[in-house]
Structure 1
Amino acid sequence: MGNTCAWPILRTTDLAEALTLAEKLLSVASWYNPNACHLNAWVHDDGELRRLIQALLGAGVRWYGKGPGDFPATVSLGAAAFAQAEEALTTWAGITRCYVLWHDMKWPAVVELGLDEEYKYAELQVACNSHDIHCQEWAAEHTVFIHARPGHEARAAWLAARVGARIVGPTEEGW
């Protein structure tokens, strides 16, 4: 067991820019299953809930209060391809804070850093309207995060450099 660490490598108000960077990073992964992708959005009232569910059919709701109608809640949806995740995230980002997370991938070995391939802690995330991975606080920007093994900031920096980016903030404990 263990949690990832997440390093932010881009903060931008342009969601297309964030998604383009994410797609480039997915191409760096040595193995990638496009079906292993899910979206989550925070819901704070009935209006948001209705808009999210109507926008993308098939989304599930998880309540954190005593039951249905007791907010907050999360709305979740799986995506089978990058284009589907891109469309869903763009739609949801216009409504509330949300994120897309890709997993079931391997970060490549980095021989010069003495790092083997990484599967267990390899994830990629785009958080919309937020600077944190859990989308707890609203922000005007979207953030791209590389998730990797704790202590592997050098891997995160190496991955970011492969796509013309760099680490732009402190690490967060992941999942």
Structure 2
Amino acid sequence: MTVRPMGNSRAYPVLRTTDAGEAFRQARRLCALLRNAEDTVWLFAELATVREVRGIAAIAPGLPFDYSTSRTDPATGDYLAFDLDVTALDDAALAEHLPLTFSENVERECVEAGILAALGDGVASVEWHGRWPDDSDADVDWPSKYDGIQVVFHGDEAQLGDWTEEHTVFVHVTKWGDLPLAQELAAHIGSEVLGEAQLGW
């Protein structure tokens, strides 16, 4: 039995742009290099408007949303979970619950087909997991714990931080870092590594 290593990937920024479409296109180009890419992607989004919630619900039907900040029952003090079906609420009722967040695995095809139209002005992140061709675990059939691509819309931190105007593409590699691999991947999209490795997934 193979035991997968513990720890986090290292994420190298390889593109920053104010053009969300360009960031997504270049992330997809890097995805083409992945072996054993998963059929789902991890999607996170901060949603401040009804339109944004409707957009995410359209590409991730039936999946749950949550409150962006903790809310408590005024009578009991218990924490409240958002457990409503957003598609069953009219716009006025849905607006009362904003802002919301979304953080789930979603079918890759659905995200790739619809995320740009669904994006709003909040921070959002799409993560593709797979294996780089030179991964030392190439003889096993599960994706690497570390390898993959991430595009952060309106952010410059792999772990998600403050809002920025720019969108950032990261390549994720081994927990020890692999600058030569990151440089090679950046060159594939005509770019270069733009900063120090960050803590990844």
**TM class, shorter-chain normalised?**
0.7 to 0.9
- Counterpart check, 1:31 vs 2:56: no
**Do the aligned partners of 1:128 and 1:135 also contact (CA within 8 Å) in 2?**
no
Q: Secondary structure at the match of 2:80?
A: coil
Cα distance change, pair 26–86 in 1 and its aligned pair in 2 (3 A):
same
Contact 2:52 2:120 in 1 (8 A): no
| 1:112 matched residue in structure 2 | none
Q: Report how far residue 87 of structure 1 moved.
A: 4.4
Contact kept, 8 Å, 2:44 with 2:126, in 1: the verdict is yes
1:162 Cα shift? 2.4
Which of 178, 185, 201 aligns to 1:159? It is 185
Aligned partner of residue 122 in structure 2, secondary structure? coil
Please say if 1:90 is aligned against 2:106: no
Unaligned runs of 5+ in 1: 110-114
Q: 1:6 aligns with which of 2, 11, 28?
A: 11
Distance 1:77 1:92, change over 3 A: farther
Count matched residues.
163
Could you tell me the percent identity over the aligned residues?
A: 29
1:117 is displaced (CA, Å) by: 5.4
Give the Cα–Cα distance (whole angstroms) in 2 for the partners of residues 171 and 72 of structure 1.
Answer: 31
* One-letter amino acid matched to 1:79: V
Report which of the two structures shows the higher radius of gyration computed on alpha carbons.
2
Give the Cα–Cα distance (whole angstroms) in 2 for the partners of residues 91 and 136 of structure 1: 23
Q: Distance in 1 between matches of 2:10 and 2:121?
A: 28
Q: Runs of 4 or more off by more than 4 Å in structure 1? A: 69-73
Equivalent of 2:150, from 111, 120, 125? 125
Instruction: Please give the alpha-carbon distance, in whole angstroms, between the structure 1 residues aligned to 2:168 and 2:102.
Output: 20
Aligned partner of 1:76 in structure 2 is 103
Q: Deviations over 1:6-36 (max 9, x none)?
A: 1000000111111111111111113323x22
